[in-house]
Amino acid sequence: MEGDDLKSTKHIGAFINSECVGILSLFEAKIDDHLDEYQYQLRGMAVHPKFQGQEIGKKLIEFAEHELRKMQVNLLWCNARSSAANFYDKLNFEIISEEFHIPDVGPHFVMCKKLR
């Protein structure tokens, strides 16, 4: 993804017996509604289908939030697939946009969570 190699970008993985079973990336990026906040965007989150339903995604996000808080980040946001909105809602993210379509990917919402 664009920005993968920036010094500010963070890549996080979940491993079971040395096998990568989940990933996410964090990019320093702002959304217009919160320009005064220090914020990061969550992108590229995935959990291997064989390991879904085991709270790996939840643990990845909780770890990411912990790391971002140490960096004094105020806000974490993402373009969440509409089908995943309930997952993010359970982690206290809120929808802050109308549903929109990303070509070749599908319907999404912008969702965010205050970290402070």
Q: For the chain, what percent of residues have pLDDT higher than 70?
A: 100
Whole-angstrom Cα distance, residue 46 to residue 13?
Answer: 10
The pLDDT, as a whole number, for residue 5 is: 86
Q: 31 Cβ partners below 8 Å, 6+ apart? A: 39, 41, 77, 96, 110, 112
The pLDDT, as a whole number, for residue 1 is: 75
Whole-angstrom Cα distance, residue 102 to residue 13?
Answer: 25
| Average pLDDT for 48-69 | 97
Domain 10-114, second-level architecture = 3-Layer(aba) Sandwich (3.40)
Q: What is the pLDDT of residues 9-32, one digit of tens each?
A: 999 999 999 999 999 999 999 998
Q: 27 Cβ partners below 8 Å, 6+ apart? A: 1, 3, 6, 8, 9, 40, 41, 43
Residue 12: which of 60, 76, 69 has the closest Cα? 60
